[in-house]
């Protein structure tokens, strides 16, 4: 299950293995559409990747650090290094295939 994290938790969790981060806001319509897809992927890929959610309204420092100007935005990290950015609502299979490139 994807975990909503604060700035400190983000920094301590993003550095190990494959991590997919969903930058979202509670008021964002497309973010609400993406949420169940993100959860499904989190369950399906359990053990292969970690799935985190960052609320841009609560963690503005992280959003600024990664230049998040549009939400939802998903970033794939591998061992703390940013690998790929996906912006907007995308179909589940597109997201999954992007993640699998880094397994």
Domains and CATH numbers, the chain: 3-98 (3.40.30.10)
Q: Encoding tokens for residue 103?
A: 């397994």
What is the side-by-side order of every strand in the sheet holding 73-78? 3-4, 50-55, 18-24, 73-78, 81-87
Asked about 59 being catalytic, the answer comes back as no
On average, the pLDDT of the chain sits at 96
Q: Which of 28, 59, 62, 95 is catalytic?
A: 28
Catalytic residue among 2, 21, 31, 75: 31
Helix, strand, or coil (residue 83): strand
pLDDT in tens, 12-31: 999 999 999 999 999 999 99
Q: What is the 3-state secondary structure (H, E, C) of 12-78?
A: HHCCCCEEEEEEECCCCHHHHHHHHHHHHHHHHCCCCCEEEEEECCCCHHHHHHCCCCCCCEEEEEE
SS3 assignment, position 89: coil
pTM of the model: 0.96
Q: Is the pLDDT of residue 39 over 90?
A: yes
Residues β-bridged to residue 20: 51, 76
Question: What confidence category does residue 1 fall into, taking pLDDT thresholds of 50, 70 and 90?
Answer: confident
To the nearest 10°, the Cα dihedral for 16, 40, 91, 27?
Answer: -90
**Both tokens of residue 89?**
């609502």
């Amino acid at each position: 299950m994807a975990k909503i994290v604060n700035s400190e938790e983000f920094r301590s969790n993003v550095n190990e293995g494959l991590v997919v981060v969903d930058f979202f806001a509670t008021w964002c319509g497309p973010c609400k559409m993406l949420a169940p897809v993100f959860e499904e992927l989190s369950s399906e890929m359990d053990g292969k990747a970690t799935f985190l959610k960052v609320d841009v309204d609560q963690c503005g420092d992280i959003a600024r650090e990664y230049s998040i100007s549009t939400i939802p935005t998903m970033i794939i990290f591998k061992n703390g290094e940013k690998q790929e950015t996906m912006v907007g609502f995308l179909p589940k299979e597109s997201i999954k295939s992007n993640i699998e490139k880094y397994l």
